[in-house]
Chain A
Amino acid sequence: MSRQPYVRPMSKTTWYMRNGRYQVYMLREMTSFLVGFYTFLTIYALYTLTANSPDAWNSFISSQQGPFMAVFHGLALLYFLLYQTFPWFKLAPKAMPIQLGEKKLPGSYIVVAHYVAWVIASAIIFWLAGVI
């Protein structure tokens, strides 16, 4: 190694602003905050059930109502679909290619299968929750 290796100057905190692909990468990375937020929100919801009486649960439900939370959840849902769910399905054939003898199963089949499974999984959750 040379004694004075060239180190390309690069900001540690704003490097992703230089390139559109990196910006999209960072937008995708931000969904991990949403995963954390909704996970702890759900854990808190379970905590209100540990009283084993309707009062704590009902006050949790009413604390979650209102236009602010509605707008927040609406935007979060849209953001999550655009930057977590759909990209995850899109990369599935690259992460898990299916080999059939000499050939590979076309990636589009795997992507479509993911969308079908997603609709079914969502339908099961909505059915369990009594929405449909």
Chain B
Amino acid sequence: MAIAKKSVIWSLFAAGGTLTAFIFPALMALFLLIATGNVPDGLQYQQFHTFAVSWLGKAALFVVLFLSLWHAAHRLRVVAHDFGIRKDKLVANVVYLVATIGTVLTAYFLLSIN
């Protein structure tokens, strides 16, 4: 892989790792609250829809999901290697394609919420 490309992938991995380390526990705790039937007020339709309509809410959700997607993609590429899959080019194409599709869907969904 060209050095220039590698540095972009690496910085997305590092930024995503820091971001997920900080905020995923809270995200998972929110899903846990939902699962136990204690849906927080902020996640009721009216309130969360209002948040996702605001540009600040859209920007926050996009940054979090974008970095998480590329962080997971890069790490799953390494995981595939660790489990003995030696077709790195194919694996890289698959994981980065899924991350690209996820990024596009996130943007499209966020723009459709209004």
Residues of A at the B interface (CB closer than 8 Å) are: 11-13, 16, 26, 29-30, 32-36, 38-43, 46-47, 49-50, 52, 54, 57-58, 61, 64-66, 69-70, 72-74, 76-77, 80-81, 84-85, 88-89, 95, 117-118, 121-122, 125-126, 128-131
Contact = CB atoms under 8 A, between A and B. Distances in A.
B40 A131 contact: yes
Chain B facing A: main interface SS: helix
A130 B49 contact: no
B76 interface: yes
Contacts, number: 161
Given A38-B31, A85-B25, A130-B47, A26 B82 contact: yes
A38 B26 CA distance: 12
Interface of B: 14, 16-18, 20-37, 39-43, 45-49, 51-52, 61, 64-65, 68-69, 71-73, 75-76, 78-79, 82-84, 86, 102, 105-106, 109-110, 112-114
Contact of B112 (A50, A58, A89): A50
Contacts of A129: 30, 40-43
A72 B61 CA distance: 23
